[in-house]
Structure 1
Amino acid sequence: MHAKPGFNRACVYAALILFALYFILPMYVMFSTSFKSIEELRTGNLLTLPSQWTIAPWVKAWSEACTGVRCEGMRPFFMNSVSMVIPAVLLSTLIGAFNGYVLTLWRFRGADALFTMLMVGCFIPFQAILLPMARLEGLLGISNSTAGLVLVHVIYGIAFTTMFFRNFYVSVPSELVKAARIDGAGFFTIFTRVLLPVSLPILMVCLIWQFTQIWNDFLFGIVFAGADSMPITVALNNLVNTSEGTKEYNVDMAAAIIAALPTLVIYLLAGRYFVRGLTAGAVKG
């Protein structure tokens, strides 16, 4: 006998709810712990809500917690990440859009070989470029700076953004470009007036992808950042590993949520555009 559709649907929903709880539980523990006092943590249960809510751990995590020898909280490092991620995301996305446009609609000899090399670049591990990039930054005089971090993330992200835009532009009707050429539009006019206005879906994909990758990066931050340009992921690691005095897990949890908050907000506000962009052609071609 075949199972009834209603029973199958109930099993699917039960499995989905179970998986959702599995992924939400750590976030719940972090959130509830961050609002508990250190005394309640010692005597209470991780799974219980705070008996007396307090924002003191958040205040300390933001402005007073020690990250190594500095006790300025996460605030300066949060701003370091902001000043790094905005130009890196915008530059890598713009360059990827331009590359995708050229590789798709203004083909030249060797275009396929160049695109293949860019695809290979997507799979090069971070560790493989550390020494060459350190050498390049030394020659440019931007070692241990925010500008150096921006350069690293732009260079590493170009392969991904080019792939996204190139595969999206393949699905754009060629008649749009032909009509623009007939009307006298040139190279840059077609790019700015014809293609960019229809690129919102894939633009959102690249912005979300790059923002998430750059904000959450730890390896490049710990290798290429200096003491004054350290991103928030490195500061969070230093905070968690600082062993002076009593271990304050509530402060650690608050700091972890502060570090993760921008990416959570981005996905909550623009996650649907990410899915739409992918289905609109970002993985075709």
Structure 2
Amino acid sequence: MSNNSQQHGLKTARLWRALIYSVLIIMAVIYLAPLFVMVVTSFKSLDEVRTGNMMALPLEITFEPWLKAWQSACLGLDCGGINGYFWNSLKMVVPAVLISTFLGALNGYVLTKWRFKGHQIIFGLMLFACFIPFQIVLLPMSQVLGWLGLANSTSGLVLVHVIYGLGFTTLFFRNFYEAFPNELIRAAVMDGAGFFKIFRYILLPNSAPIIVVTIIWQFTNIWNDFIFGASFASGEAAPMTVALNNLVNSSTGVKEYNVHMAAAIIAALPTLLVYVVGGRYFVRGLMAGSVKG
């Protein structure tokens, strides 16, 4: 009787497992279908795109759409491709991520290990900044950039993203350092270590998980941002997202869907690469400071 019950239980478990995997596979196919269409379309000629099935594999693979998207696609009146805007985004995202991550780590260190009167109010205000919509800061930020002489520049976009991302980076590091043993800090102080020495030799070497989380979060948000790029930069100073929008919505010439798909994939490659390289550390880093002790 017990053997029959065990066999019945195993069959039930297998059926449920098969059902779960079937649902997951169906959801994965639905989720990845647009990406499949983008990839196969980017390798087709324009004639094949117009006359063929969008789900079909290319009859003849061509890299011409990729080369044109990179070198000679027209974005309005500019027909120099997206390569310059791609480098604009890189020049914006790398310093913005590094600066906001460093300042977030410093803030988290101060708010947990060198607490001062009113530190909870300061942290509350920075936390509140995480929930301020983009649209609210557009006008004051544009005025500040004008006063600083950074309007319509990559440096201005770096400043905008550092300021807007500081609330998130501070939150990440503050929660991580909250679980860091205070005894190590007290021991270092007794040995004569100062503020920056403790930060450099004790906190930062043990912060790899949360640094990875912060870099992935900031890189993705900054690279994919459109509203700040469209508001504070134009022309040759525009980032990749603005250039991609201009390419797709350009009213000059024929709609070259294969070129548009290739450009969209190029725009997505950096964030995809970041997730492939560091994605497995993302959840691990978020959970690293969730349990104290």
TM bucket normalised to smaller: over 0.9
Q: Tell me, what secondary structure is at the counterpart of 1:73?
A: coil
Residue 13 (structure 1) aligned with residue 33 (structure 2) = no
Q: Aligned equivalents of 2:151 and 2:251: distance in 1?
A: 29
Q: For this pair of structures, how many residues does the alignment match?
A: 284
- Decide which of 110, 116, 127 is 2:118's aligned counterpart: 110
Tell me, yes or no, if the aligned pair for 1:240 and 1:252 is still in contact at 8 Å. yes
Matched, 1:47 2:55: yes
Specify whether residues 126 and 283 from structure 1 end up closer, same or farther in structure 2 by C-alpha distance, changes over 3 A only. farther
Q: Distance in 1 between matches of 2:266 and 2:246?
A: 15
Whichever residue aligns with residue 209 of structure 2, its letter is P
Q: 1:106 deviation in Å?
A: 0.4
What is the TM-score with the length of structure 2 in the denominator? Answer: 0.94
Aligned to 1:217: 225
Aligned pair 1:81/2:83, yes or no?
Answer: no
- The answer for the alignment partner of 1:129 in structure 2 is 137
Q: Displacement, 1:246?
A: 1.8
Matched with 2:3 is none
Partner of 2:271: 263
| Higher gyration radius (CA) | 2
For residue 203 of structure 2, the aligned residue among 195, 218, 230 is 195
Percentage of identical aligned residues: 59
Task: For 1:11 and 1:176, locate their aligned partners in 2 and report how far apart those are by CA, in whole Å.
Answer: 50
CA 8–102 in structure 1, closer or farther in 2 if over 3 Å, else same: same
Q: Say if 1:168 and 1:283, in contact at 8 Å, map to a contact too.
A: no
Q: Is the 8 A contact 1:62 1:255 kept in 2?
A: yes
Aligned 1:19-34 pairs, distance under 5 A:
19-34=27-42
Of stretches 10-19 and 133-142 in structure 1, the one that deviates more from structure 2 is 10-19
Counterpart among 136, 139, 152 of residue 160 in structure 2: 152
The residue matched to 1:184 in structure 2 has which SS?
coil
Is the deviation greater in 144-153 or in 222-231? Answer: 222-231
Partner of 1:98: 106
- Indicate conservation of the 8 Å contact 1:168/1:281, yes or no: yes
- Counterpart position of 2:288: 280
Tell me whether 170-179 or 100-109 shows the greater mean CA deviation.
170-179
Structure 1 residue runs without a partner (length 5+):
none
- Counterpart in the other structure of 1:143: 151
Measured in 2, the distance between the counterparts of 1:224 and 1:112 equals 33
The equivalent of 1:177 in structure 2 is 185
How far is the alpha carbon of 1:23 from its aligned partner?
1.4
Decide whether aligned partners of structure 1 residues 282 and 204 sit closer, same or farther in structure 2, where only a CA change above 3 A counts. farther
Q: Would you say the 8 A contact 1:165–1:282 is kept in 2? A: no
Deviation at 1:37, TM superposition (A): 0.2
The alignment partner of 2:237 has SS state of coil
* CA deviation profile, 1:124-151 (whole Å, cap 9, x unmatched): 0000000110111111111111110000
RMSD between superposed Cα atoms in Å = 1.4
The secondary structure found in structure 2 opposite 1:67 is coil
1:195-243 CA-partner distances (Å, limit 9, x unpaired): 0000000000000000000000000000001322100000000000012
Unaligned segments of structure 2, at least 5 residues: 1-7
Normalising by structure 1, we get a TM-score of: 0.97
2:174 equivalent to 1:166 = yes
* Offset of residue 283 of structure 1: 9.5
How far apart, CA to CA, are the structure 2 residues paired with 1:51 and 1:283?
Answer: 55
Aligned counterparts of 1:122 and 1:245: Cα–Cα separation in 2: 42
